[in-house]
A and B are shown apart, each in its own frame.
Chain A
Amino acid sequence: EAGVAQSPRYKIIEKRQSVAFWCNPISGHATLYWYQQILGQGPKLLIQFQNNGVVDDSQLPKDRFSAERLKGVDSTLKIQPAKLEDSAVYLCASSLEVGWDNEQFFGPGTRLTVL
């Protein structure tokens, strides 16, 4: 079974530029999550999708971050414009259904450096 795929694996941009990350969850997984992991911290949930609908985006900085999952499969996370403090690893995860009793499977992450 293929795991959660993310691209790119690494990205370096200058502040005020825009960046987008892509995630392809495990086939058949209805729930998709985006996390931000700043160096020395644990992952922080940014947004959770159930199919193509948003379940929770309360921790997403909506002035600069946006995410979509238009067809209920792949998802993109965008930052526009980026700030220095956005430097982090962005993790995508998926699970079969919504609910924390469903195991999350994580992708390799995208490491973003904002200069």
Chain B
Amino acid sequence: AQSVSQHNHHVILSEAASLELGCNYSYGGTVNLFWYVQYPGQHLQLLLKYFSGDPLVKGIKGFEAEFIKSKFSFNLRKPSVQWSDTAEYFCAVNPVNRDDKIIFGKGTRLHILP
């Protein structure tokens, strides 16, 4: 069965530090990829997505993610985090032409120290 792995369950960083959250998936075919974010007390919302084209995708609030097909990865990055980035981040994968579902990872809880 397809799966999505987020290696870091809880990350603590200081403001201005660089961020990279890992996401790997287990499906060899074409995929659509997503990062969702849930800020404290708010709804889950889309941060960025990749469907095709440039594997480096830019999202809201200075986030970006790079799709590396050979590594089955879609890591999320931000060069300098802010206290307001404290949230839970979910990677999600849609295996195209295979059940056509969306599969979420378990999430990474990010805590930014002011």
Main secondary structure of the interface of A (DSSP, over half): loop
Are A100 and B43 interface neighbours, CB within 8 A?
Answer: no
Are B100 and A42 interface neighbours, CB within 8 A?
Answer: no
B46 within 8 A of A: yes
Are B46 and A103 interface neighbours, CB within 8 A?
Answer: yes
Known: A3-B43, A101-B51. A45 touches B100 (CB 8 A): no
A21 within 8 A of B: no
Query: B28-72 toward A: CB 8 Å interface, digit per residue (1/0)?
Result: 000010000000000111100101000000000000000000000
CB proximity of B65 to chain A, nearest CB, Å: 16
Known: A56-B100, A58-B99. A43 touches B94 (CB 8 A): no
A107 within 8 A of B: yes
CB nearest to A3 among chain B residues? B43
Are A100 and B104 interface neighbours, CB within 8 A?
Answer: no
CB nearest to B107 among chain A residues? A42
B4 within 8 A of A: yes
Known: A58-B99, A101-B51. A44 touches B43 (CB 8 A): no
What is the size, in residues, of chain B's interface with A at 8 Å between Cβ atoms?
A: 20
- Chain B residues lying within 8 Å of A59, measured Cβ to Cβ, are 101
Of A45, A58, A103, A106, which contacts B43 at CB under 8 A? A106
- Chain A residues lying within 8 Å of B49, measured Cβ to Cβ, are 101, 103
Cα-based distance from A87 to B62 in the complex (angstroms): 35
Known: A103-B46, A104-B46, A106-B44. A45 touches B102 (CB 8 A): yes
- Chain B residues lying within 8 Å of A42, measured Cβ to Cβ, are 4, 90, 92, 103-107
Return the 5 tightest CB-CB contacts between A and B, nearest first: A42-B104, A106-B44, A100-B94, A106-B43, A43-B104
What residues of chain A have their CB less than 8 Å away from a CB belonging to chain B? 3-4, 40-45, 56, 58-59, 91, 93, 100-101, 103-109
What residues of chain B have their CB less than 8 Å away from a CB belonging to chain A? 4, 32, 43-46, 49, 51, 90, 92, 94, 99-107
Known pairs A56-B101, A100-B32 / 15 extra A-B pairs, C-beta < 8 Å: A4-B43, A40-B106, A42-B104, A42-B106, A42-B107, A43-B44, A43-B90, A43-B104, A56-B100, A58-B101, A91-B44, A100-B102, A103-B46, A103-B49, A106-B45
